[in-house]
Amino acid sequence: MANVSLGTVVPDFELPSTGAKMFSLQQVRGQFVIVYFYPKDNTPGCTQEGQAFRDNYSRFSELNALIVGISRDSVKVHEGFKAKQQFPFELLADTDETVCRLFDVIKPKIMYGKQVIGIERSTFLIAPDGTLLQEWRKVKVNHHCDDVLNALTDYARN
């Protein structure tokens, strides 16, 4: 499967989700979808990013947007992270990296002086018709949620 690119329709994908569900992109057509990829549950940056989306959740909802977070963690780990942080959105488990590779977020990184392969923090804004409108790569957590909300507001007004 080819990687997603701006201005094209994102292929449907399915992943196991918190709440004992399967998430399908096709099933949420008709609303904006914010897909944010993050490296690991219960780590400082990932917690801060999720909290920012949580704290602004009602503003996203008012603009007809659904938020989902994706990492390689299991649904079981996601359930604990979601409950602890009181996230009102679902977390999806991409344990085999299929969707991570579709969005091209698996990258070599340096951790503690060693090269590892992991998720590059990235966010994607998908239109109600499934078209990829915008992407943010190599995300820095501070103010990122505001950037996504501002872009969504602009698209929702047009």
Q: Is residue 158 part of a domain?
A: no
d(CA 82, CA 50): 9
Three-state secondary-structure class, residue 148 = helix
- The whole domain housing 54 covers 14-149
| Count of helices and strands (H, E) across the chain | 5, 9
Q: Is residue 131 part of a domain?
A: yes
pLDDT tens digit at each of 158 positions of the chain: 578 999 999 999 999 999 999 999 999 999 999 999 999 999 999 999 999 999 999 999 999 999 999 999 999 999 999 999 999 999 999 999 999 999 999 998 877 788 888 999 999 999 999 999 999 999 999 999 999 999 999 999 87
Asked about 145 being catalytic, the answer comes back as no
Q: How many domains does the chain have?
A: 1
The one catalytic residue among 4, 46, 65, 75: 46
Report pTM.
0.94
Q: Is residue 65 part of a domain?
A: yes
Q: Is residue 3 part of a domain?
A: no
Strands 90-93 and 32-37, sheet pairing: unpaired
Using the Cα atoms of residue 48, residue 123, residue 99 and residue 63 in order, give the sign of their dihedral. Answer: positive
Q: Is residue 122 part of a domain?
A: yes
Task: Say what the pLDDT of residue 1 is.
Answer: 58
Q: Among the residues of 20-141, which ranges form H helices?
A: 44-55, 57-62, 75-85, 98-102
Q: Is residue 154 part of a domain?
A: no
Task: Say what the pLDDT of residue 108 is.
Answer: 87
Q: Is residue 50 part of a domain?
A: yes
Q: Is residue 4 part of a domain?
A: no
Q: What is the CATH number of the domain that holds 103?
A: 3.40.30.10
